[in-house]
Structure formats: C-alpha cells, structure tokens
Amino acid sequence: MRGSTKTILLAAALSIGGIIINPAQAAASALTPERVCGSGFARVSHSKQVAKTPSGDVFGYVYLLYNRRTGYNCVTTIKTSNVGIATFASATITTQTRGAHSRTGGKNEGRQVKHYLGPLKTYGKGRCVKYSGTIWDDGRDAAVATAHWKSWGNCG
C-alpha cells in the first residue's frame, strides 16, 4: 500500500472508532465554574448542585464560588445535556442582609444558552447566601431541571 492509502484507511478507522470529538462537547468539557467566574474565585462547601428533573434526568449543575479578596460570590449554571443547543437557563443568588428577613440578590436568565449561563456576582462579605438554577430541555415536553441550595450558607 502506498503512504496516502494507509493514511486514508487510518483516518477512516479512527473516525469509525469514535476518536473524533464534537466541537460543542470539546468546548463544554474545557469549561469550569472557575473559568466562568474568573480569577480569584474558588468553589465553596456544597458548591455543586445537580440540576435534575422530577423524573431524575440530569441537565447540568449550578455552582457557587467565592472570592476571598473581593468578597464577591459568583453563581453559574453549566449544561451537561443538550450542550451546543440553545435552551433556556437561569441562575439566581440571594444575599441575606441585616436581619433574617432582609435580602438582596440577582437573577440572570438566558433563552439562547448553549453551554453555560453566568457569571452572576453579588457582594457577600460577612453575609449568607442562597442560590439556584434552572435548565430546560429543547424537546416538546419542556422538561425543567432545577437545582438549589435550600438554606442560608457560605456566610463569608
């Protein structure tokens, strides 16, 4: 066999064997919450919450990170299902301020989210936070996966 024929057969064998990676999957696999939130942000205890449907299907994760230097919290929702396909997603963070019933926060929603939503940042030095996120599928049944941290936490 000539060299060019061997190359073509090797390329065909590799593609059949599943070696070729979908570009959307490659981009998503390199994505981390630290990259989304930026320099100085690190995950906190209980920072990764699974976004799943009532039937148990997992669509992604919602992460909480904190920057000790700046005192900011960061939330991001990262898809693991329908990656590369535009779907609805949300990220929410609420900061507890002065008293148990006083709160400030933010919400970020996106209707054309292909990989992740965020970063959503709020100041939280010396304050507790709650966070959540939502990811919808792209099908007709419009299944919704939600994730949330139920109690006040990360009281930075």
Per-residue pLDDT for the chain (156 aa), expressed as one digit of tens each? 454 444 333 333 333 444 443 444 444 457 899 999 999 999 988 889 999 999 999 999 999 999 999 999 999 999 998 899 888 898 888 888 765 555 566 666 667 889 998 899 988 888 888 899 999 887 656 678 888 777 777 776
In the chain, the domains with their CATH numbers are 22-148 (2.60.40)
Taking only the tens place, the pLDDT of each residue in 18-27 is 444 344 444 4
Q: Where are the beta strands (DSSP E) in the chain?
A: 42-52, 58-67, 72-79, 87-96, 103-113, 116-123, 129-136, 144-148
Residue 137 backbone phi and psi in degrees, to 5: -85, 180
Q: What is the pTM of this model?
A: 0.75
pLDDT recorded at residue 156: 65
